[in-house]
Amino acid sequence: MSKKISKVLNRELKSIEEWRNSFGASTPDQTLFISDKKIESVFESLSDKLKGNYPFHHPVYAGQMLKPPHQIAQAAYAMAMTINPNNHALDGGPPSSEMEKEVMSILADFFGYGDEFLGHLTSSGTIANLEALWVARQSHPTKKIAFSENAHYTHGRMCEVLRLGAVTVPILENGKFDLETITPDEIGTMVVTLGTTGLGEVEPLDQIIPWAKKHGIRIHIDAAYGGFFRTLKDSVLIDGTNWNQMQEADSIVVDPHKHGLQPYGCGAVLFKNPEVGMFYKHDSPYTYFTSDDLHLGEISLECSRAGAAAVAFWTTLQCFPLKEKEGFGPILAKCRKAALTGYSLMVDSEKLVPYKKPELDILTYFPVNESTNNVSDISKLSKQVFEAGMRDQSFYLSLFKVPSSSFTKLHPQFDANEDQVSILRSVLMKPEQADFMEELINRIEASF
């Protein structure tokens, strides 16, 4: 943590301690006592264990969808966590509940919903999507949910949980949904993913909006990964077509714990029509809604939720607005540039071949040498490179499986001698990676 942030954190933790003491001295009960020696030894062993992680903070980590939260969020979370407010009810954390309402208004405004909406934070993108699909079911109880073959795997799982019929929509070569294969009458809600988890692809919302309107079908946008890229919708770095129309959807999910600089435990769901609030009505004797103001627990599937998550996100948005030229925009622009730089370096490389042109900041590629003829050669070499980087601690990538039929459509010179091919995948979520791509690619090329 930077000296400045850690100094401010210590100062403000003291200030909270004073507030705590202002209610009169209270010493922890004897049962909670731990010896100094025990604290020393347990924490020493803890830090040893934690060093077993991969270096998520460093540009050499160019693997899975992982990155540490901003230090501002870490500090804000740590402060709030000493109080541990619960955003279930206003009584569980009045200030953090207000901060949650404020960040939800900022997100609603950002996605184009304006003042009229319903929404709250969740513990994850999966739970946020579960809630959106639950509202989808309550809205059209007899109909099915449709999503593309590239949607996050949890949509299928959550349809099972909700006992909802699910329809998988194939994707055509031009990236459009193959709507010919489905029966609109049986669909209640179509899921459109803006920023797929595998390749970071932006699904064709522009195609789905008129089709869904015509058939009276709801639209749910899963922007768990991609949502913050909307800051770049008017820039030359991405194609803004689909990002510009998000306000047409009935619900939107975004994960602040992915590109929102937050620690885990921070997803979000928004509904365009606040009337879906009626689905949440419950009347349990142990909840404690003492006022007529909106209690977030009244409009969420989950009961207890960390107020600290709202505090951390609120603090982050004070420092980093959701704008193109300030705050989040420049950060995401760097991530996007990292992917574009990596792509053009690989186009010129003799040893690494880009699998597909990236639409956001996820780059997929594969290694080749003189004797690479078929997909099993590629899988073997990919695994070899993946392992070599980790062994030498010089780079960290992830493996990604693609059906050989899709692979050979893009790279017909290779023989599909197996059903699947393993390639390499780098989720370039750190702005520092924009200037590190040349070095990263040099290191990868030197490893085989």
Ligand X SMILES: *Cc1c(COP(=O)(O)O)cnc(C)c1O
Parallel, antiparallel or unpaired: strands 362-367 and 420-427: antiparallel
- Do the beta carbons of residue 255 and residue 124 sit within 8 Å? yes
Nearer of residues 339 and 444 to ligand X, judged by Cβ? 339
CB of 127 to ligand X, least distance (A): 7
Strand partners, 189: 145, 218
Q: Which is nearer to ligand X, 201 or 324 (CB)?
A: 201
Structure tokens at 444: 């990868």
Distance CA 316, CA 311 (A): 9
Q: How many CB atoms lie within 10 A of CB 71?
A: 15
Kindly list the residues in this chain that would bind ligand X in the complex (CB under 6 A). 124-126, 129, 152, 154, 193, 197, 222, 224-225, 255, 267
For residues 96 and 80, is the Cβ–Cβ distance under 8 A? yes
Instruction: State the minimum distance, in angstroms, from the CB of residue 303 to ligand X.
Output: 18
Q: Are 101 and 294 in contact (CB under 8 A)?
A: yes
Nearer to ligand X, 152 or 411 (CB): 152
The span from the CA of 273 to the CA of 251, in Å, is 8
Give, in order, the Cα–Cα distances in Å from 380 to each of 270, 354, 441, 446.
43, 17, 19, 17
Give the nearest distance from C-beta 121 to ligand X in angstroms. 12
Contact 267, 122 (CB under 8 A): yes
Least Å distance, CB 128 to ligand X, is 7
Rounded to a whole number of angstroms, the minimum distance from the CB of residue 124 to ligand X is 3
Q: Name the closest residue to ligand X (Cβ).
A: 125
**Closer by beta carbon to ligand X, 100 or else 255:** 255
Instruction: Dump the DSSP string for 68-84.
Output: PPPHHHHHHHHHHHTT-
Amino acid at 173: E
Query: What are the tokens at 415?
Result: 């023989």
Measured on CA atoms in the order 401, 246, 106, 295, is the torsion positive or negative? negative
Q: How far is the CB of 407 from ligand X (least distance, A)?
A: 22
Kindly state the smallest distance separating residue 341's Cβ from ligand X, in Å: 23
User: What residues form DSSP beta bridges with 401?
Assistant: 422
Give 87 or 447: the residue with its C-beta nearer to ligand X.
87
What is the Cα–Cα distance from 12 to 93, expressed in whole angstroms? 19
Nearer to ligand X, 267 or 329 (CB): 267
> What letters, b where the CB count within 10 A reaches 16 and e where it falls short, cover 139-156?
bbeebbbbbbebbbebbe
Toward ligand X, which CB reaches closer, 193 or 251?
A: 193
The distance of closest approach from Cβ of residue 193 to ligand X in the complex, given in angstroms and rounded to an integer, is 5
Tokens 């997803």 found at? 267
Residue partners of 182: CB distance under 8 A and separation at least 6 = 146, 167, 169
Q: Which is nearer to ligand X, 151 or 440 (CB)?
A: 151
Tell the smallest beta-carbon distance from residue 70 to ligand X (Å). 18
**Closer Cβ to ligand X, 129 or 245, answer by number:** 129
